[in-house]
């Protein structure tokens, strides 16, 4: 018989909220982690994205927080997230599952007014969800006191490591009491994460529900080999498929996100953009519109690849092959979530083959390669000169032949135009330029010597009347 949420020891208010959300049975990570969290054990959890990690710590934390009360500027629990979007998503989870519990929550992320956040902190919060940088800012201002923290959650620890947040995390942990419960979750478990776990956790229960860096079996993966100059055309063709309900398109660079977004918009696609340099309100607006299906295509950088819970993404397109193999796992983990089917398509040029090899080594299997039918069947677009459009700017016109004239009479000297000085012969031009035969602003080698190539006498001893022995560049000044 399948395990239910009631079998995990959760309270009735939480079970009602779970039922209202439409969930009936826990995922493997939830089934294994929730009982140990309720037992106040430290947890080191490793699970691929899309397996329900967020609920595995939010559900028991709501139960733990149902008893007791918070004090001003002293949060009872702290959840650290690497990105603003992921922090906002965790806040949504607390609102969903904690609606029958009277808990106060504060979200500390960049791009939002300090005054509004400080007002919530002064009223006292049970749950503090934050990115490391913004939490450090509040701590340095004296607006947050962490000496009463009972539970600490470090989510997406491997992403924290990649983004350089570990020094901030270590500083934050040093401000907390040593007797606390710490939960660390990560999609991958490199040696660096294990060293951090040994530093932050006390006798943790290690929970692994799938091999590290594995991809979900519900995702159909494929690679399309394509010339780098044909990527945009191939993507446009793929996006016209009627089976695509909605999709995420990932680029490696933020500027490419903006460029591709504009191109898709001009082509008539319902699209939005998401990258790290955007205003926070604009980022949240695009995410909300995508979740509500007001737009169907969201062009993203890797800021959106980790932990975003958008349940029904049908397709993920890797417009660029990620340079870090782990990012591939997180990108395609946005589809095929909670048992649903998903499709992942990667456009790979020859220059990106080595990154593709790293990915296949990490996930332990070959990704099927699909022919690029667009490149074979689609007519080649040309510009007005007949040059292929995608390569027009890189193509130069052929050089004209420089063969000697053999069939025409020799040219005659043309008469000078009106107001034009007569042409000089070679000897006259040579004499007008001076010795050396070239124009060099008066700094020719010969300009520093007299007629006989003897060194010039000291300028101080030379009478100004003897101009033939004065360097040419002095005369021009």
178 and 50 together in one domain: yes
- Region class of 114: left (phi > 0), else alpha (psi between -120 and 50), else beta: alpha
23 and 171 together in one domain: yes
- Between CA 95 and CA 127 the distance in angstroms is 11
Instruction: State which of 175, 208, 241 marks the end of a domain.
Output: 208
Q: Residue 396 falls within a domain, yes or no? A: no
Q: How confident is the model at residue 221 (pLDDT cuts 50, 70, 90)?
A: very high
199 and 235 together in one domain: no
Kindly report, residue by residue over 325-367, the tens digit of the pLDDT.
Answer: 888 988 898 888 777 899 999 999 999 999 999 999 988 899 9
25 and 139 together in one domain: yes
Q: Residue 410 falls within a domain, yes or no? A: no
Q: Residue 316 falls within a domain, yes or no? A: yes
pLDDT of residue 319: 97
Q: Residue 413 falls within a domain, yes or no? A: no
How many domains would you assign to the chain?
Answer: 3
Percent of the chain scored above 90 by pLDDT?
51
> Residues for the chain: how many in total?
477
Q: What is the mean pLDDT of the chain?
A: 80
Q: Residue 149 falls within a domain, yes or no? A: yes
89 and 183 together in one domain: yes
The pLDDT of residue 395 is above 70: no
pLDDT of residue 53: 87
83 and 40 together in one domain: yes
Instruction: State which of 360, 377, 394 marks the end of a domain.
Output: 377
Q: Residue 416 falls within a domain, yes or no? A: no
16 and 63 together in one domain: yes
223 and 339 together in one domain: yes
246 and 184 together in one domain: no
Tell me the average pLDDT across 101-121: 90
pLDDT of residue 439: 43
Instruction: State which of 377, 392, 413 marks the end of a domain.
Output: 377
170 and 262 together in one domain: no
50 and 151 together in one domain: yes
Q: What is the CATH number of the domain that holds 185?
A: 3.40.50.300
Q: Residue 278 falls within a domain, yes or no? A: yes
pLDDT of residue 112: 83
User: What residues make up the domain containing 465?
Assistant: 438-475
- Bigger pLDDT: 414 or 318? 318
Q: Residue 258 falls within a domain, yes or no? A: yes
- Between CA 8 and CA 33 the distance in angstroms is 9
Per residue, the 3-state secondary structure of the chain, as one string, reads CCCCHHHHCCCHHHHHHHHHCCCCCCCHHHHHHHHHHHCCCCEEEECCCCCCHHHHHHHHHHHHHCCCCCECCECCEEEECCCHHHHHHHHHHHHHHCCCCCCCEEEECCCCCHHHHHHHHHHCCCEEEECHHHHHHHHHCCCCCCCCCCEEEECCHHHHHHCCCHHHHHHHHHCCCCCCEEEEEECCCCHHHHHHHHHHCCCCEEEECCCCCCCCCCEEEEEEECCHHHHHHHHHHHHCCCCCCCEEEECCCHHHHHHHHHHHHHCCCCEEEECCCCCHHHHHHHHHHHHCCCCCEEEECHHHCCCCCCCCCCEEEECCCCCCHHHHHHHHCCCCHHHCCEEEEEEECHHHHHHHHHHHHHHCCCCCEECCHHHHHCCCCECCCCCEHHHHHHCCCCCCCCCCCCCCCCCCCCCCCCCCCCCCCHHHHHHHHCCCCCCCCCCCHHHHECCCCCECCCHHHCCCCCHHHCCHHHHCC
234 and 346 together in one domain: yes
Tell me the average pLDDT across 372-395: 42
């Amino acid at each position: 018989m399948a395990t239910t949420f009631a079998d995990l020891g959760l309270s009735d208010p939480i079970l009602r909220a779970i039922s209202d959300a439409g969930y009936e049975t826990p995922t493997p990570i939830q089934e294994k982690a929730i009982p140990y969290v309720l037992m106040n054990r430290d947890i080191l959890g490793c699970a691929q994205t899309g397996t329900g990690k967020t609920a595995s710590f939010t559900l028991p934390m709501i139960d733990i927080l149902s008893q007791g009360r918070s004090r001003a500027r002293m949060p009872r629990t702290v959840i650290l997230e690497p990105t603003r979007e992921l922090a906002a998503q965790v806040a949504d989870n607390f609102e969903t599952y904690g609606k029958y519990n009277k808990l106060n929550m504060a979200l500390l992320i960049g791009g939002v007014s300090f005054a509004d956040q400080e007002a919530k902190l002064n009223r006292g919060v049970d749950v503090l969800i934050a990115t490391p940088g913004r939490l450090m800012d509040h701590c340095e201002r004296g607006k947050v006191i962490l000496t009463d923290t009972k539970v600490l959650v470090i989510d997406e620890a491997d992403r924290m490591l990649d983004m350089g947040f570990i020094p901030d995390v270590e500083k934050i942990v040093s401000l907390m009491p040593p007797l606390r419960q710490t939960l660390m979750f990560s999609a991958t478990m490199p040696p660096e994460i294990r060293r951090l776990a040994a530093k932050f956790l006390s006798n943790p229960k290690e929970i692994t529900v799938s091999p590290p860096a594995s991809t979900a079996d519900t995702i159909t993966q494929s690679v399309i080999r394509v010339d780098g100059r044909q990527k945009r055309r191939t993507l446009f063709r793929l996006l016209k498929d009627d089976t695509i309900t909605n999709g995420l398109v990932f680029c490696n660079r933020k500027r490419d996100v903006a460029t591709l977004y504009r191109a898709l918009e001009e082509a008539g696609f319902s699209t939005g953009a998401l990258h790290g340099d955007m205003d926070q309100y604009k980022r949240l607006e695009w995410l909300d519109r995508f979740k509500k299906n007001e737009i169907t295509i969201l062009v993203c950088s890797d800021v959106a690849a980790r932990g975003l819970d958008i349940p029904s993404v049908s397709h993920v397109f890797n417009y660029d092959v990620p340079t870090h193999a782990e990012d591939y796992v997180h990108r395609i983990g946005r589809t095929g979530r909670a048992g649903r089917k998903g499709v992942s398509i990667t456009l790979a040029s020859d220059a990106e083959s080595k990154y593709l090899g790293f990915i296949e080594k990490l996930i332990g299997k070959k990704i099927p390669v699909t022919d690029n039918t667009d490149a074979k069947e689609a007519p080649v677009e040309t510009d007005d000169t007949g040059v292929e459009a995608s390569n027009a700017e890189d193509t130069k016109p052929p050089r004209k032949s420089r063969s000697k004239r053999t069939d025409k009479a020799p040219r005659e000297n043309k008469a000078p135009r009106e107001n034009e000085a007569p042409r000089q012969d070679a000897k006259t031009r040579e004499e007008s330029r001076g010795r050396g035969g070239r124009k060099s602003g008066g700094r020719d080698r010969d300009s520093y010597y007299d007629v006989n190539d003897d060194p010039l006498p000291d300028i101080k001893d030379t009478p100004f009347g003897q101009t033939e022995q004065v360097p040419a560049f002095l005369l021009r000044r």
